[in-house]
Amino acid sequence: MRVSGARRGMLALLMVLPLLAGGCIVIRTTEQRVKFNRDGSGEAVLRLIDIRSDAEEDSLVQRDFNIMMTSFEGEMARDFEEKGRKIVRRQFSISGDTLTAEIFYTFREYGAIEGLRVTKNEMYVVVPPERRVLRTNGKVGSWGSNASRVSWDRDAQRISFAIQEKSIGSTRSLAALYRSYGK
């Protein structure tokens, strides 16, 4: 799998590495919406918005798409379960040339949310410098060398954030391939 340094830090990419095994998939925008219960369990939706391939040849773009779909249909669920999450629904949608995947899941404890750090007083995620925070219901501040930090009170019942790659280079949308998938 080829994953650039910029993409390595991406929170959602880490959540779906099995999805990307063997392919050169690029996700322009990632959104997380999480609802917590008092005991730290809860439910969430992960939105992968504008799924693309950085391959140049049609056959390699098709290969990336096939690997992605195979992983969505099996490997991803196993990976989620190993991390204390259970997928309850997943779906794709297309708007124009934008392919979006939504993964709805439940979890048993705060630690199951990839990248979420929990302290006595707050919860937070760190967004690497290669990405920008588009929107959140938390507070955005700086962190380390050019990274951002999104934080919420420890007792927040709902958190949400959307982050986007600052630059994705030359890529091709997978929306057209999804339109013809299964036909």
Task: CATH number of the domain at 106, please.
Answer: 3.30.70
CB 110 within 8 A of CB 41: no
For residue 141, tell me if it sits in a domain: no
Tell me, what's the pLDDT at 72? Answer: 84
Strand 131-136 and strand 158-165: the pairing is antiparallel
For residue 12, tell me if it sits in a domain: yes
User: Percentage of the chain surpassing pLDDT 70?
Assistant: 86
Give CA–CA dist 170/58, Å, rounded: 14
- Location of structure tokens 């949400």: 160
| Both structure tokens of 1 | 């799998």
Give CA–CA dist 9/131, Å, rounded: 9
For residue 117, tell me if it sits in a domain: no
Q: Could you give the 3-state DSSP secondary structure of residue 35?
A: strand
Range(s) of the domain holding residue 76: 5-111+163-179
Q: Based on the structure, what is the number of domains in the chain?
A: 1
For residue 138, tell me if it sits in a domain: no
For residue 132, tell me if it sits in a domain: no
Model confidence at 110: pLDDT above 70 = yes
**What number is the average pLDDT over the span 50-70?**
93
Model confidence at 13: pLDDT above 50 = no
For residue 52, tell me if it sits in a domain: yes
For residue 40, tell me if it sits in a domain: yes
pLDDT-derived band at 160 (thresholds 50, 70, 90) equals very high
pTM of the model: 0.83
pLDDT-derived band at 183 (thresholds 50, 70, 90) equals low
Contacts of 138 (CB under 8 A, 6+ apart): 124, 150, 151, 152, 156, 159, 160, 161
For residue 144, tell me if it sits in a domain: no
Average pLDDT of the chain is 87
Contacts of 99 (CB under 8 A, 6+ apart): 50, 51, 52, 92, 93, 173, 174, 175, 178
Tell me, what's the pLDDT at 182? Answer: 66
